[in-house]
Amino acid sequence: MREVVEDVLVVLREGDDELAEALQGAGCRVTHNPHAVEGMGASIRHGVAEAPAGDGWLIMPADLPWVRTATIARVAAQLAQAPAVVPVCNGQRGHPVGFAARFREGLLALQGDRGARGLLQAHPDAVCWLEVDDPGIGRDVDRPEALRTASGI
């Protein structure tokens, strides 16, 4: 993400100080979400509230290490043309999802663990479904051993 986006803000649970230090060393800004237990919606809400007003946001869970830099760049570029951008590979939607500034209030109102899916469903005409050749957009890592196994470590 840092190769494409100048200002990367990472939302962490409170107490993730070691991870926060590592991310800051990599050039990311970090914020701790006191409401992280509420789910993805609360984390997105917190991140948008902490981010400076700008043209929009690329939202990506941290457990997607195989998303290609070129995919992130394509989503960011397409966001200049469309209010919302969702990458799709082989019929599967993924991340990062881009939202233009017009979605700020909707993002700040998110609740629960569904993330911003409801916003996309409420505004189907605003969504650009961007075809990409990147299965990493939906390949997440739930446990460290999965990352080691997949990377050959």
- Whether 145 has a pLDDT exceeding 90, the answer reads no
Confidence check: pLDDT of 5 > 50: yes
- Is residue 4 assigned to a domain? no
For residue 152, pLDDT beyond 50: no
Residue 3 lies inside a defined structural domain of this protein: no
Asked if residue 106 belongs to a domain, the reply is yes
3-class secondary structure per residue, the chain: CCCCCCCCEEEEECCCHHHHHHHHHCCCEEEEECCHHHCHHHHHHHHHHHCCCCCEEEECCCCCCCCCHHHHHHHHHHHCCCCEEEEEECCEECCCEEEEHHHHHHHHCCCCCCCCHHHHHHCHHHEEEEECCCHHHHCCCCCHHHHHHHHCC
Report the alpha-carbon distance of residue 92 to residue 74 in Å, rounded. 17
Question: Do the domain assignments include residue 1?
Answer: no
- The pLDDT value recorded for residue 147 is 62
CATH number for the domain harbouring residue 78: 3.90.550.10
User: What pLDDT was estimated at residue 109?
Assistant: 95
Confidence of residue 153 (pLDDT cuts 50, 70, 90): very low
Share of the chain above pLDDT 70, in %: 93
The domain in which residue 73 lies consists of 9-151
Q: What is the pLDDT of residue 64?
A: 92
pLDDT reported for residue 149? 61
How many domains does the structure of the chain reveal? 1
What is the model's pTM?
Answer: 0.89
Residue 101 lies in a domain: yes
Is residue 28 one of the residues assigned to a domain? Answer: yes
Residue 139 belongs to a domain: yes
**Has residue 50 been placed in a domain?**
yes
pLDDT in tens, 72-126: 999 999 999 999 999 999 999 999 999 999 999 999 999 888 789 999 999 999 9
